[in-house]
Amino acid sequence: MIIIWARWGILVLLFAGLGVLIGFALGAIIGVASGDSAATGIFIGIGLMVASVALFFFDREVVQKHLDKPRTIMVTQQFNPPITNPDGSLTYARQVPAVHPETGQPILVQPTSSLFFIPVRFWPYVLGAIGLVVLVSNVITLSTR
């Protein structure tokens, strides 16, 4: 199995696992029998929905503001002839910010964290929907017994 992620997208799996653990913990606190898979599934669905809310705020407050913030593109500027430093060494190039030729503004790149080519900002909704489907299907299973 190949898992494809970019940058901080792997954290989605961490939040999903955390949601499942929260579900098991809630089931254990309530006192659900370990053999009752439908009742345990209800709490796993609730845990996934809690994890989706946590992932939403984590993405908004940490990933977008700090980890995936826009960065200036740097380019190499060559010196011809090379510049002689005070210690006698030669400098042939330096890194400078890339600027737009017409506006003179720095060119920024916006990195994006993703899991399975889906940006992290969309995963809270996917995780919440999965949790809701798990919850509803297990409630239906439990009510038809």
| Each residue's pLDDT tens digit, 93-103 | 989 898 988 99
* Total domains present in the chain: 2
Q: Do 13 and 58 belong together in one domain?
A: yes
Residue predicted with more confidence, 94 or 126: 126
- Let me know how many helices (H) and strands (E) the chain has, helices first: 3, 7
Rounded to whole angstroms, the Cα distance separating 73 from 86 reads 29
Q: Do 24 and 53 belong together in one domain?
A: yes
| Each residue's pLDDT tens digit, 16-41 | 999 999 998 888 888 776 667 888 88
| pTM of the model as a whole | 0.77
| DSSP 3-state of 106 | strand
Q: Do 63 and 92 belong together in one domain?
A: no
Residue 51 lies in domain: 1-69+113-145
Q: Do 75 and 96 belong together in one domain?
A: yes
Kindly state the average pLDDT of the residues 63-88: 90
Kindly state the average pLDDT of the residues 58-77: 90
